[in-house]
Amino acid sequence: MKITLSVLKADIGSIGGHITPSQALVNEVKNFVQENGKNLIIDLYISFTGDDIAILCTHERGILDEKIHKLAWDAFIAGTAVAKKQGLYGAGQDLLKDAFSGNIKGMGPAVAEIEFEERPNEPFIFFAADKTDPGAYNLPFYLAFADPMYCAGLILSPKMSDGYTFHIIDVEYTEKDKIIELNAPEELYDIAALLRDNERYVIESIYSRSTGNQALSISTTRLHNIAGKYTGKDDPVALVRVQGEFPATGEVLGPFQIGHYVAGFMRGSHIGPLMPCKLNSTISFFDGPPVVTGAAFSVREGKFTEPADVFDHPYWDYIRTQVSEKATAIRRQGFSGAAMLPYSELEYGGIVEKLEKLNKKFKVKD
């Protein structure tokens, strides 16, 4: 059976600042999709990560389907009404356009989708990150799909030895999607040369070279490119099919032990370590730290099992302690140097006016 996995995610308001959506808001979005999606979707899972609420669903309509995207858009509008009624902070903040036109891409919410012929046993992981941008996934998925130091299957499994094709998007080009396809392992150095720049080049999807099947899809929306100003961080979602011709679940999770430094954190303007957290985690220290959650599912004829929480294990408690130490270490240096993002990322925020004013006060001395 050919199915489509779609996840559509938005920040449409949260309690007490940017911490977590209210239960009423989550319920409203869930009820709306259940009621209005009866003849469209096969199954549904609603969750939140930090201040973002995600609609994960299965259907047979393919990617970028107008009806599925409109359903999610309308659910976010309905949720925003509840957020406003409750006085939630940032109600409707990610809904950057007024009128729906075709699909939700470029309108604010994040979207990741994969259409595939279901395997007899079809496991996948749904990742959601908050207080960061899509480039946060560059390193972990590069390591999981291209580096035998992290992914043993690249050496041990004949199904994986042909490697993977990376589709990498230049997010600074906003007219259309500008994408390069590069093959691992032959073009590893080219892939690395692009992926080192998390703010510009972002993994959009990955395909198995032995079967041509799609393994991964990431939302690549950069909100400031749509809004022209800072309106919140992009908070990317990802869908990753695992096992068999793809890396094992544990191989995909492995690189998240690094807690690598990513862009985001307070006011989307800092560098902080990415902390792997339990499902439905909230946000706290310095509006962060940047977090990622993972829900693993099996799916059969489009029907989900219950989610298995991939970061809910004693091992990850140990990692979370280490990542907290990294967060504390970089926060000690406040605004200085590497702790805050470079001007190119901040230019969408208020600092532009301040620097323009100060620039006028500079005097060139003889």
Cα-to-chain-centroid distance, residue 86 = 27
Distance CA 110, CA 105 (A): 7
- β strands within the chain, DSSP E: 2-10, 41-49, 52-59, 110-117, 122-130, 164-170, 179-184, 201-208, 214-218, 237-241, 261-264, 270-273, 275-277, 291-300, 303-304, 308-309
Residue among 168 and 341 whose Cβ is closer to ligand F6R: 341
Binding mask 254-283 for Mg ion (x = CB under 5 A): ------------------------------
Give which of Mg ion, ligand F6R, none residue 52 binds (C-beta under 5 to 8 Å, depending on kind): Mg ion
Q: Helix, strand, or coil here: 97?
A: coil
- Residue 69 Cβ, how far from Mg ion at the closest point, in Å? 20
- Asked if 130 interacts with Mg ion (CB under 5 A), we say yes
Length of the chain: 366
Contact, 113 vs 105, CB < 8 A? Answer: no
Considering only residues 52, 133, 204, 245, which one is a binding residue for Mg ion as defined by CB under 5 A? 52
Closest listed residue to residue 233, CA positions, set 174, 276, 281, 292: 292
Considering only residues 11, 65, 115, 204, which one is a binding residue for Mg ion as defined by CB under 5 A? 11
- Residue 18 Cβ, how far from ligand F6R at the closest point, in Å? 4
- Residue 25 Cβ, how far from ligand F6R at the closest point, in Å? 16
Distance CA 151, CA 332 (A): 34
Q: Enumerate binding residues for ligand F6R (CB under 6 A).
A: 17-18, 131, 232-233, 266-268, 287
Contact, 143 vs 254, CB < 8 A? Answer: yes
Q: Kindly state the tokens that stand for 82.
A: 């509840």
- Residue 235 Cβ, how far from Mg ion at the closest point, in Å? 4
In angstroms, what CA-CA distances link 261 with 229, 310, 323, 339? 23, 21, 10, 10
Q: Kindly state the tokens that stand for 157.
A: 């499994």
Residue among 167 and 233 whose Cβ is closer to ligand F6R: 233
Distance CA 270, CA 188 (A): 29
Residue among 69 and 233 whose Cβ is closer to ligand F6R: 233
Give which of ligand F6R, Mg ion, none residue 287 binds (C-beta under 5 to 8 Å, depending on kind): ligand F6R
Distance CA 99, CA 110 (A): 17
> Using CB under 5 A, which of the segments 5-13, 80-88, 140-148, 297-305 binds Mg ion?
5-13
- Asked if 234 interacts with Mg ion (CB under 5 A), we say no
Residue 356, judged by CB atoms within 10 A of its CB (0-12, 13-18, 19+), counts as exposed
Residue among 124 and 261 whose Cβ is closer to ligand F6R: 261
Residue among 103 and 132 whose Cβ is closer to ligand F6R: 132
Give which of Mg ion, ligand F6R, none residue 245 binds (C-beta under 5 to 8 Å, depending on kind): none
Considering only residues 134, 232, 236, 255, which one is a binding residue for Mg ion as defined by CB under 5 A? 232
- Residue 309 Cβ, how far from Mg ion at the closest point, in Å? 19
Catalytic center residues: 11, 230, 233
- Residue 81 Cβ, how far from Mg ion at the closest point, in Å? 18
- Residue 90 Cβ, how far from ligand F6R at the closest point, in Å? 6
Q: Which residue is nearest to ligand F6R (CB)?
A: 287
Give which of Mg ion, ligand F6R, none residue 266 binds (C-beta under 5 to 8 Å, depending on kind): ligand F6R
User: In this structure, are strands 237-241 and 214-218 parallel, antiparallel, or unpaired?
Assistant: antiparallel
- Asked if 18 interacts with Mg ion (CB under 5 A), we say yes
Q: List residues near Mg ion by CB under 5 A.
A: 11, 18, 50-52, 130, 232, 235
